Amino acid sequence: MNNKYKVLVVEDEVNIMNLVSALLETNGYQVISAKTCASAKALYASYIPDIIILDLGLPDDDGMNLLKDIRQNSLTPVIVLSARSSEKDKVDALDQGANDYVTKPFGSTELLARVRSVLRNNRHSAQEGRLPGGKFVLNDLLIDYDARRVFIKDCEIKLTQTEYNIVALLSEYSGKMLTYAAIIKEIWGASDDGSIKKLQVNMANIRKKLGAKPGENNYIINELGVGYRMND
Ligand code: CA
């Protein structure tokens, strides 16, 4: 029996494909490789991979279309690996259901860390979900979902209802970058012109209350123009 994680790598540049494949294989993953969207679809259907690493610039179609196709009937995690580095590209991919976005050129350790993180979160959400009485722990941070209370080093952090909702949301998806639009939709439902400002104000208060310091490895990371991620 083979119990390795199966990774479908969709990439048309041979050098990058070889690099990513070697990296994954030496770290214990099984790699299935596709150079086009069409072959990726066929291999996806026959292998049902655990995770997909997806380039966007592919010869037969845009990888974004493959992402949309996959998301129509599957939650298989997808990490986009692309040279497109604009905020808009990242936001579009994340809003279409990509679990993470890595820009080329990329670091090997970073890519491996993102793969592990996405697989871990996916396992967590599939098996546990949002359990009543569940707790989230990250270093000194503890979230008690049942009591809707947040602690750092056993000291309670007083959050407003909205601030708590944002922290709880980010923690549920820890490791995953959530776009501004995704957070606004979850927290306030409809968005308006002031939504992003409102989110930023809440987030600034949350970060201050959690003791965030510039330049340090804080609980919540802000990727400017894209969204927020809670470390995991
Ligand atoms: Ca390409």
Label the pairing between strands 141-144 and 135-138.
Answer: antiparallel
CA 12–ligand 1 middle distance (angstroms): 5
Same domain for 84 and 135, yes or no, is no
CA 137–ligand 1 middle distance (angstroms): 39
CA 46–ligand 1 middle distance (angstroms): 23
Same domain for 108 and 191, yes or no, is no
Count of structural domains, the chain = 2
Among 67, 102, 121, the domain boundary falls at 121
Q: Which residues of the chain have pLDDT under 70?
A: 1-3, 122-133, 215, 217
Residue 110 dihedral angles phi and psi, to the nearest 5°: -65, -45
User: What does the DSSP 8-state code read for residue 145?
Assistant: T
Indicate whether 99 belongs to any domain: yes
Indicate whether 35 belongs to any domain: yes
What angle is formed at CA 174 by the lines to CA 172 and CA 177, rounded to 5 degrees? 115
CA 58–ligand 1 middle distance (angstroms): 5
Indicate whether 194 belongs to any domain: yes
Same domain for 32 and 50, yes or no, is yes
155, 205 Cβ separation under 8 angstroms: no
CATH number for the domain spanning 169: value is 1.10.10.10
Distance of CA 199 to the CA centre of its chain: 19
pLDDT score, position 48: 85
pLDDT score, position 75: 80
pTM for the model:
0.65
Residue where the block lists tokens 């400017």: 224
